[in-house]
Amino acid sequence: MMKEKIEALKESFNAKISEINKKDALEQLRVAVLGKKGEFTALMKDMKDLQAEARKEIGQLINNVKNDFEAAIAKKAKELEEAEINAKVENEWSDISWPETPVQGSIHPLSIVRKELEDLFISMGFDILDGPEMEEEYYNFNALNIPEDHPARDSQDTFWLKNGKLLRSQTSPVQIRGMLAKKPPIKFVCPGKTYRNEAVDASHEHSFHQCEGLVVDKGITVSHLIFTLKQIVSSIFGEDVEIRLRPSFFPFVEPGFELDFKCRICKGKGCSVCKQTGWIEYLGCGMIHPQVLKNCGIDPEIYSGFAFGGGIERLTMMKYGIDDIRHFHAGDLRFLKQF
């Protein structure tokens, strides 16, 4: 009698589960058969009337059938899950490599060169840092050893805001933030947009991009700086480029230098971009001033470092032979489509 009930339950279960195509229906079947008040529970209660030998046989049979039911339910649940995913993919599928509308633009030349710079520095072991464009006076001037009477603080050079902050005139504030956040040895660059209240001409803009970097460790010298700068220039242009270092003054480095390279527009003959000199002033650099290290909690008696910073626009102009910096922000499609 018990075996007949079990066989009847198997037939009923197999018939019902074969017709199920929804998760909630499968759950209802599971509760009806395997739940606390389900059919298996009823069968177990009926076993009390059996003889000991028969109870052992029927109990084993019930457990085997229960295990088969559980496996069948798990298999069906997996099939329903896969069917749901396949249906969703079928209905929502799209080729993400194919644009919905024809591509109208291109990568901006400044973005191209910035990405090349970042890849170059990453390959040389530098980290890439970012910081706010609306900056505090402390990070933009004070911590960089720029005194309050320095001309760079005047409104003719700096965009001051009504809230007492300013638009960063360089990405050097990111260097300060980086040195305050990290402990030597440190090695990072900080590309980004900067702002200066300057007259616009073929080689100057009021908003432009810089890429500044620094290295701080024990035993860093000017020779490390020169080697790094040569690597940067030659890697960007893909060939040896004639460069020169000129002594210069910056409050945050000592000694300080200007790095120039031979104008690639006129090949050194003189043009509007190089102001008829044949040379392009690319970046300022030097050994980090001991006071700047102290401002960032770094002991200058133990550590030394170098810093450098140059404009991405000027580098891009030399790389692509662009003779006017104003093209970058003009929005002229005839210019942008070249890239």
Task: Collect all residues with Cβ–Cβ distance below 8 Å to 135 and sequence separation of at least 6.
Answer: 165, 166, 167, 168, 173
Dihedrals phi, psi of 228, to nearest 5 degrees: -65, -45
Kindly state the helix (H) or strand (E) to which residue 73 belongs, with its residue range.
Answer: helix 52-92
Sign of the alpha-carbon torsion through 124, 127, 133, 138: negative
Dihedrals phi, psi of 231, to nearest 5 degrees: -65, -40
At residue 80, the pLDDT reads 84
At residue 236, the pLDDT reads 79
CATH number of 109-336: 3.30.930.10
Q: What are the beta bridge partners of residue 279?
A: 262
The label of the residue with tokens 């209240």 reads: 197
> CB–CB of 307/175 below 8 Å?
yes
At residue 308, the pLDDT reads 94
Give, for all 339 residues of the chain, the pLDDT tens digit.
677 777 877 788 888 888 888 888 888 888 888 777 777 777 777 767 777 777 777 777 777 878 888 888 888 888 888 888 887 767 666 666 766 666 566 788 899 899 999 999 999 999 999 999 999 999 999 999 887 877 766 655 888 899 989 999 899 999 999 999 989 999 999 999 999 887 777 667 788 899 999 999 999 999 999 989 888 888 877 777 788 889 998 889 999 999 988 887 787 888 877 888 888 888 899 999 999 999 999 999 999 999 999 889 888 887 888 888 888 888 788 888 887
Secondary structure of residue 46 in the 3-state scheme: helix
Helix H segments across 124-276?
137-140, 172-181, 222-237
Longest dimension (CA), the chain: 113
> CB–CB of 121/310 below 8 Å?
no
At residue 177, the pLDDT reads 94
Give 179-223 as a DSSP string: HHH--SSEEEEEEEEEE-----BTTB-SEEEEEEEEEEETT--HH
Query: How far is Cα 203 from Cα 25, in angstroms, rounded to an integer?
Result: 73
CA 334 to chain CA mean position, Å: 30
At residue 95, the pLDDT reads 66
Amino acid in the structure at residue 15: A
Task: Return the CA Rg of the chain.
Answer: 36
At residue 339, the pLDDT reads 76
At residue 222, the pLDDT reads 93
Phi-psi region of 15 (alpha: psi -120 to 50; beta: other; left: phi over 0): alpha
Query: How far is Cα 176 from Cα 140, in angstroms, rounded to an integer?
Result: 9
At residue 212, the pLDDT reads 93
Q: Domain limits of the chain?
A: 2-92, 109-336
Query: How far is Cα 324 from Cα 200, in angstroms, rounded to an integer?
Result: 10
